Structure 1
Amino acid sequence: MNNIDAIILAVIEGITEYLPISSTGHMIIASSLMKIAGDDFTKLFTIVIQLGAILSVLVLYWKRFFQSLDFYFKLLVAFIPAVFFGLLLNNVIDELLESPLVVAITLVLGGFILLKVDDWFKANEVYDEANPQAHTQISYSTALKIGLFQCLAMVPGTSRSGASIIGGMTQKLNRKTAAEFSFFLAVPTMFGATAKKLYDYYQAGFVLNSDQINYLIIGNVVAFIVALIAIKSFIDYLSKRGFKIFGYYRIILGVSLLLIHYFIYPLTIV
């Protein structure tokens, strides 16, 4: 890895972390094309720079993180499934992260789902005069169910934000509320994933050198700046127009990767 690689991956992370198009999938594909995907530090880098993207949520929504203890308890409830299934399926997840082909397939499948999501949950966007808060209230059971949906993103290419947003919409939340809760849930989830990855990295006997520390600093700063822009743009767009454009994007990208894999050059981690 070099500085250019670090910046490119960080830009991808910042743009894709909070969009329903899979940041992990994009970084697996990008690092594969750069010929650095098989490197242990690259795998660590793609997880740790999520911290930068997390900070963008804390900056944009800092008032929400001081509203009540109830807010934190609900985040904790939503976070528990990721801890349980993450530890239980750790080896399986690591194997899936080695497969760009899995990413391509899940991009396509997820794309078709996003094409229909707006129609499935159209009623969530309707203002109910009898209960105007009906589509913005998050209960503990709703938080837990969103957390379970988030676990689907352990399959690379699925999209953590996409899975958790749709999970919220199945509980009658409107798009904006579901998306914002997905952003908040990213904070403990990404902190946990980063801590686990760093622990595993050092347990394996690796030590970060000065160049690698520099790449991590650059990556987090770039991811933070880009994510600030991406979050604001996404919320505005999603509230007004929905998911279809992201569905088309996923399908086009996934099909393109499958065509490349089978007819031009096999997609592998190198």
Structure 2
Amino acid sequence: HMSRAHFFGVLLRFFSGRPCAATAHARHFQLHWPLNDLVIAVSDATRRFHCRWNLVPASRIETIHNFIDPAALAPVPESARQEVRAEWSVSAEDRLVGIIGNVIPRKGHVYLVRALPRVLAAVPGARLVVVGSEVSPHYAAQVKAAAKQLRVAERIVWAGHRTDIQRVLAALDLCVLASVEESFPLVLLEAMAAGLAVVATTVGGMPECIRPGETGLLVPPANSGALAEAIIALLADPCRCRAFGQAAAALVRQRFSPESQVARIEAALARIARAA
């Protein structure tokens, strides 16, 4: 699952003759990928990248999407929503949008901030919470400067790194992923499993787990106007937003849970073991 493990796996394959399988989470140019007997790609987008750019034969790569175990997610009391909102000085009436992830350029925070003026004009009670470490202080400063320039800084909560993600999700009305580059983020599945509607960009594997108009909405990357329209469409219609969230939770249980994916991993590993 990690680059160093991939290297040693291929090395051991060379010396022992045993088959080697690796999981491709990201999309990087690396020489070892074609040397594996099996590459498991976490999305079709990742599979296509490795076939085209790392020359992995199509017969040796298979898409098995990332998954989570909804049953293993820590349950939260009903009071969590009010408690977390109170911590952030967010009222019960506010419509709270959350973006969760490290504050780095590829996560697209700045495009979400630029969408806020239009969102607030249509939904005055909207608030934004940014959850994640400021891994890139320079980029975080740019995002905050944009918020100040657009006069929306007072509508944004900077929550920093949090480990109680289930409580955070309980406090939200909508989860947004504004990424300009992405693989297959687990936080998207976690938000959906928590019963949240999602707005995400059409990058990486995200279009593969969102059913537009049913579990969420998809928009082009780096497009603040489209992002604003999608957010407004859901915040302004709480019933539709809740219905999307319920459908999203059902979709995760159906397609992105251990019950649906582990058997496929076992079958793929058994196949290369038999061929060895």
TM-score, structure 1 length as denominator? 0.30
Q: Which has the higher contact order (CA 8 A, sep 6+)?
A: 1
The structure that is strand-richer by fraction is 2
- Whose Rg is larger? 2
TM-score, structure 2 length as denominator? 0.30
